[in-house]
Amino acid sequence: MKNLLRPHLLRLWLPIALLGLCFAAQAQRPAHYEHPGAGLAHGMELFDKAKYGAALYEFDRIAAQTRDEQADLRIEAEFWGALSSVRLFHGDASNRLLAFITAHPESFHVAAIQVELFRHYFNGRRWQDALAWATKVDETALGESDRTEFTFKKGYALFMDGQMDKAQVEFAKVKDASSLYAAPATYYNAHINYTKRNYAAALEDFDKLKEDPNFGRVVPYYIAQIKFLQGHYEALLEYAQPLLADPEGAKRTGDINRLAGEAYYRTGQYKEALPYIEKSLQRTGVERGDRYIAGYTFYKNEQYQKAITQFTQVINNSADSLAQLSAYHMADCYLKLDQKNYARNAFKKAYDLGNDPKVTEDALFNYAKLAYELSFDPYNEAIIALRDYMAKYPGSIRHDEAQEFLLDVYLKTKNYEAALGALDAIKNKDLRLKEAYQKLAFDRGVELYEGRKFSDARVFFNKALTYPVDPQVTVQAHYWAGESSYAMGDYDGALAKYDDVRNTGGAYATALFEQAGYSMGYAFFKQKQYGEAATSFRRAIDNAELPKAQRNDAMIRTGDCYYVTKDNATAITWYDKAINNGATARDYAQYQKGVCQGLEKKYDQKIATLKQLLREKPNSQYAADAKFQLGETYLGLERDPEALEFYQQVVTQHANSPHVRQSMLQSALIDKRQGRTAKALDGFKAVVAKYPTMDGSRDALAGIESIYSQQGNVAAYEEYVKSLSFVDPASLDLDEKYFRSAEQLYFAEKCDQAVGAFRDYLAKYPSGAYAVNAEFYASDCLHRSGKQEESLPGFEKVITAGEGQFLEPSLAAASQILFRNERWAAALDYFTQLARTAALPVNVLAGQVGRMRCLNELGRAQEAAEAAKKVIANEDATADLKAEAGLAIGQGAINDNDLDAAYTRYKGIASSSNNAFGAEAAYRMAYVRYLQKRYKDAEKEVFSMVKKFPSYDHWKAKAFILLGDIYVGMDDLFQAKATLQSVIDHCAEPELVTEASERLANITEAAEPTGTGTVPDEENTVPMPGNQ
């Protein structure tokens, strides 16, 4: 309850300018005083006419001309000069008065000087100095009017010095007399009684002033306040209403409105209180207690938004019982407005403040209940709050209700790990809790699996088997634990889990029974157990319940099993089945069928099959392979023109294909066989120029040597060989022996020895025929051994060489090393080359993705967006990579200020991705709405993001920090602070906690009140007599 007894010393300061009364304009001249000095007489005449400046000049001139310091003429001149200085408010006035006393202590003027010094310090508000001189004044020597003034001023000085009892003694001497000071003395005496709670005595004096022209408009507030403090509410209202009806009837009508409103409030008449309360809020310096009363009055009158405004200001940076009650009632206002999330935060605040035990308990229960009811529960607060409630209030009548809520939360939450942690703490779980545990563990496993965190996912799938309550979930947990193991390369573990699926009771009736068999086929295939793999795939094919796409895939994989085991005829049968059944990978099946037909020496069938592939899908990723196979087949059939045609297609249409070198070589061989020697020679030399290594050029060099030898021009061959930087004829044999020795170690996977051997070779033959090979093999060994930095220089030397079979893998490795080391610019260069030159689709994709990521890291958003479009267009890009690329395109749109396009892009990602990319996209949807200043929409997007992606803590915390900014934009600082505090309380990332803390500090500082006292103004000025 607020304290209604308020000191008003600041309001009651008596400006000296209004006092007006002074002692006698001048000291009385002694009757015997006559001085023939014309100058002194002239100065006194000027003083009498208030021409103090001219008088001072005259008196100072006389004093200066009178050498005798004790001469009466000089004493009089100094006295009147000091008085003139006082009247002129000169800074040295007090010094002149004090100097006079020091110089002439026996002068009869000393008494007047003492009074002047009292007045001087009084006028300067130096109360203690004034009171010190007051003690020296002989009041009995003063005239009646002067004595009355002196007594009042002495009382006022005591009043301002805080000596209330002594002040009252002085005021009592004046207030009942007939003088100009009677009314002010009465007023201050009444005020002192008011502050002492002597209300009857104060009221008696205030009543005397009701008709006073100066105080008549001031005292009504005090009279009303006293009636209020006495609890005489009806009397107060009866007194106040006529005053408020007349705007000129009283000062401080804002305060009187407050008293009237609070009188109604205290008697439960909230409707009647409302108009007075509303008017009282228009005054300056409304205090917290008044705002609470206003808020509660609005609340009782169902004006909830206005109530919230007042309660918010009461709570601001406060932690007392008034703040707790305000938060509690504010929460109910939000409930009435159906704004449950805001209500939850307010109940949380009321609970955290914890002043009143009953309010604290009820606030905790309501907070927990709302956290349960709302799907928006970012930090698993429902579980924490409900468990807190049950622990703190075990005897509550709502304990069982809370327990039911808690169980339901366990079953519905998406914040799986937090819920599992809470369940792990319960030692004796009943059946329903075990069921909840199994479901939560499984759902968390699925979430991690979709985020490609397979090892963690397997842990949670196995946790789901801790309590195998639900048979269906048990089957699913076994299966997805197997899928996680498979994704990790643990094929034995995968097979064990797939077998568990098929051996679990009731699994036969589920789709996963055959799905597990299909997956077993892949696990066996990876282990090169092709017979078991084929059996598993064929079993899957026979199951009509398996989706058609998977049955078709199983047909292809069955064909692969027979192809690998060289049962080509059976392989062809299965490839045909896949082709005829409309397999998605029809082109792959056609290519494999054609290869098998060739192995079966059914060349015409092979040619027909591969040509059919090229007709049906000319842009197939197997097109280059098919053309090369056609060239090889025609070459074997000695149909050179057809062979040459397809070899040339490989060279001209598939420049990055690994078949280009062999196609060029075979074309040259055909030209040589057909007698086109010059063309063949150019063809062989073209191979050497394109692949300037010994391994890459060996066959071409043999062809060149053969042609020159047939021409009898061996010298030309020797001259040509000398022109090649990578061939040293003199040491060629020894060069190769050293290299082959190291190469054998490499292929034997004796990497440590191989690296040493390759380094020895490079030291001996730094420009040797096999230098590029040696650099690559050594770097590959180091790379596979985890020595990333050590492997980089070798890869870069291969890249500098520019061509050959090792360029692509070197670009792939070097770009990734540089990217991991955050050398974005260098990595960008290699990724760009890789995307442009790679033959393998996987490396083309890696180059495109790496380029996009580097540009992002370099802050080149528009270029990153363009690179991202290529990733999305790549048919080999996974859904996750396309989502990542979509994020980059969205950022580019933001940089272009095309916010609607960015929002649309992010929305597509958030709706299709259930992992971190989806979470980030959902966050950015909210961010775009924030940039557009669509704060309510931004708020909804944050709620939606946290509801859908509660386990992605980083983006959840980022979203809450953004939500704080959104609330600031909405001018709802209470919700902003509550939101940021939740990040500080729950987030595990120090950087984000710091960010949230800084924002909270800024909001708190901005919301800090600058003062709650009433500012003195014309409305509150106390009139006093006089006009000085």
* DSSP annotation string for 506-530: TGGGSHHHHHHHHHHHHHHHHTT-H
Three-state SS at 614 = helix
| 817 within 8 A of 788, measured Cβ to Cβ | yes
Q: What is the pLDDT of residue 247?
A: 66
Q: How far is it, in rounded angstroms, from Cα 774 to Cα 121?
A: 102
> Is 837 inside any structural domain?
yes
675's CB contacts (< 8 A; 6+ apart) are none
Q: What is the pLDDT of residue 945?
A: 92
Q: Which pairs with CB-CB distance under 8 Å and at least 24 residues apart come from 21-28?
A: 21/149, 21/180, 21/181, 21/1025, 21/1026, 21/1028, 22/119, 22/149, 22/1028, 23/115, 23/119, 23/142, 23/146, 23/149, 23/150, 24/143, 24/146, 26/83, 27/79, 27/83, 27/109, 27/112
Say which CATH number the domain at 843 has.
1.25.40.10
776's CB contacts (< 8 A; 6+ apart) are 794, 795, 798, 806, 809, 810
| 367 within 8 A of 340, measured Cβ to Cβ | no
Q: What is the pLDDT of residue 14?
A: 29
Distances (CA, A) of 481 to 15, 365, 388, 459, 520: 87, 39, 35, 8, 13
Q: How far is it, in rounded angstroms, from Cα 188 to Cα 222?
A: 12
| DSSP 8-state symbol, 28 | P
**CA neighbor of 350 nearest in space, from 983, 969, 974:** 974
For the chain (1028 residues), the mean pLDDT of every run of 10, in chain order, is 29 29 36 58 91 91 89 90 88 88 88 89 91 90 90 95 94 90 93 93 91 87 91 91 76 88 94 94 90 96 96 90 95 95 92 92 90 73 82 87 81 79 82 90 92 93 94 93 94 93 79 87 94 93 86 94 95 95 92 96 96 94 94 94 95 90 94 93 92 81 88 86 76 77 90 92 86 93 92 94 86 96 95 91 94 95 95 92 95 95 96 92 97 96 90 92 95 91 91 94 74 38 50
> Is 843 inside any structural domain?
yes
Tokens found for residue 323:
């703040």
> Is 840 inside any structural domain?
yes
Distances (CA, A) of 581 to 538, 592, 605: 15, 16, 20
Tokens found for residue 106:
């026996």
> Is 757 inside any structural domain?
no
Q: What is the pLDDT of residue 377?
A: 65
**CA neighbor of 522 nearest in space, from 552, 480, 553:** 553
Distances (CA, A) of 105 to 63, 102, 140, 824: 18, 6, 20, 93
Q: How far is it, in rounded angstroms, from Cα 411 to Cα 444?
A: 13
Whole-prediction pTM value? Answer: 0.67
Angle CA(468)–CA(471)–CA(476) in degrees, nearest 5? 90
Q: How far is it, in rounded angstroms, from Cα 777 to Cα 782?
A: 9
| 175 within 8 A of 182, measured Cβ to Cβ | yes
What is the crossing angle of helices 399-412 and 431-450, to 10°?
30
Q: What is the pLDDT of residue 26?
A: 37
**CA neighbor of 133 nearest in space, from 174, 94, 76:** 94
> Is 844 inside any structural domain?
yes
Q: Report the number of distinct structural domains present in the chain.
A: 1
| DSSP 8-state symbol, 139 | G
Q: How far is it, in rounded angstroms, from Cα 2 to Cα 289?
A: 5
Helix (H) or strand (E) holding 368: helix 357-373
> Is 863 inside any structural domain?
yes
Q: How far is it, in rounded angstroms, from Cα 78 to Cα 63?
A: 6
Domain extent, residue 842, equals: 805-897
> Is 810 inside any structural domain?
yes
Q: What is the pLDDT of residue 219?
A: 87
> Is 609 inside any structural domain?
no
Distances (CA, A) of 658 to 256, 333, 664, 754, 868: 95, 73, 11, 26, 26
Q: Say how many Å lie between the first and final Cα of the chain, rounded.
A: 43
